[in-house]
Amino acid sequence: PPPASADSQRAPSLNEATEASVAVHAQRLQAEVEQLMRQQRLQAAIKPQTEMPSPTELLLPLRLPQAEEQLLEAEQPLVGGRPTGGSLWPEGGEAAAQAQRLRMTAVTSAATAMLRSSTPLAKLKPGGGSLPPLCPSLVLADCEARCAVQVSKLREAVDGGSFDVLGLSGNALLRASLEVIDGDAALKVSLAHAGSLPRATIRPLRGDPESMDICGPQGSRYGTLVRRESGSYVVMQAHLPLMIIDGAPTGRWLQVSTGTGQPMASAAVNSEYFQGRDHLELYVQPGFDMVLVISCLLAVLLLKRAMDLPSIEAWLDGFKSVPR
Helical segments of 134-262, H only? 151-156
- Tens of pLDDT along 69-105? 343 334 333 333 333 333 333 344 555 555 554 444 4
- Tens of pLDDT along 274-292? 788 888 899 999 999 999 9
pLDDT at 211: 92
> Does residue 42 register a pLDDT over 50?
yes
CA–CA dist 202, 126 (Å, integer): 21
pLDDT at 54: 37
pLDDT at 272: 79
Contacts of residue 204, Cβ cutoff 8 Å, sequence gap at least 6: 184, 185, 211, 212, 213, 303
**pLDDT winner (highest mean) among 10-14, 153-157, 184-188:** 184-188
Q: How does residue 176 score in pLDDT terms, banded at 50, 70 and 90?
A: very high
Contacts of residue 137, Cβ cutoff 8 Å, sequence gap at least 6: 53, 54, 57, 58, 121
Q: How does residue 184 score in pLDDT terms, banded at 50, 70 and 90?
A: confident
CA–CA dist 190, 285 (Å, integer): 20
In this prediction, residues 215-226 reach a mean pLDDT of 91
Answer yes or no: are the C-beta atoms of 271 and 277 closer than 8 Å. yes
CA–CA dist 243, 240 (Å, integer): 9
pLDDT at 286: 92
The percent of the chain in helix, strand and coil, each rounded to the nearest 5, is 30, 25, 40
In this prediction, residues 38-54 reach a mean pLDDT of 52
Please state, rounded to an integer, the average pLDDT across all residues of the chain: 69
> Does residue 111 register a pLDDT over 90?
no
Mean pLDDT lowest for which of 26-30, 63-67, 162-166, 297-301? 63-67
pLDDT at 30: 66
Helical segments of 157-220, H only? none
- Listed by start position, the domains of the chain span 11-123, 128-303
As a CATH number, domain 128-303 is 2.40.160.200
